[in-house]
Amino acid sequence: MTDPDLETVDSSRGPTASQAAGLTLAAARRMIAAVEAEARQMKVAMSVAVVDSGDQLVSFARMDGADLVGIRLAQDKAYTALVNRMPTGDLPPIVQPGTEFYGYDSVAGGRMIVFAGGMPLERNGVLVGAVGVSGGDSAQDQRAVEAAVRTFG
């Protein structure tokens, strides 16, 4: 059965594992649209990054007026959620001074983001990618990233 979202421009190339699991460009664009809709409701300009299971960018958008730092933060939140297979918002309690993982934000060349806005994407229990959002406060970023994950299903 072929995924109707999978655009096969070059029939000699098969899909990646993430694409075969449903993380297509079309799916990423729907997630971005969900984040943008949520951001507009909150009146916050945001950046959003969708990556596949190898941390390769599937799609990215930066809303007009979004801070430039959000570009890197959105990508790094997606990376952090992917490699830890957990929402970035779950990290703060375990990375505080005096805890076992204090200093975790310096891992991977400083790419680990230890506040809300990144979530893994799974399909049938298989990690297929992640999404990261930046532009608001932690609660706003979390609300927007949850909209993306709901859209992915």
Q: Kindly state whether residue 47 falls inside one of the protein's structural domains.
A: yes
Q: Kindly state whether residue 4 falls inside one of the protein's structural domains.
A: no
pLDDT at 85: 97
CATH number of domain containing 144? 3.30.450.150
Number of domains in the chain: 1
Q: Kindly state whether residue 117 falls inside one of the protein's structural domains.
A: yes
Q: Is 21 left (phi over 0), alpha (psi -120 to 50) or beta?
A: alpha
Average pLDDT, the chain: 93
Residue range 64-92: average pLDDT? 97
Q: Kindly state whether residue 128 falls inside one of the protein's structural domains.
A: yes
Q: Kindly state whether residue 97 falls inside one of the protein's structural domains.
A: yes
Report percent pLDDT > 90 for the chain: 80
Q: Kindly state whether residue 148 falls inside one of the protein's structural domains.
A: yes
Q: Kindly state whether residue 108 falls inside one of the protein's structural domains.
A: yes
Domain with 59, as residue range(s), is 23-152
Q: Which of the four pLDDT bands, split at 50, 70 and 90, describes residue 74?
A: very high
pLDDT at 2: 57
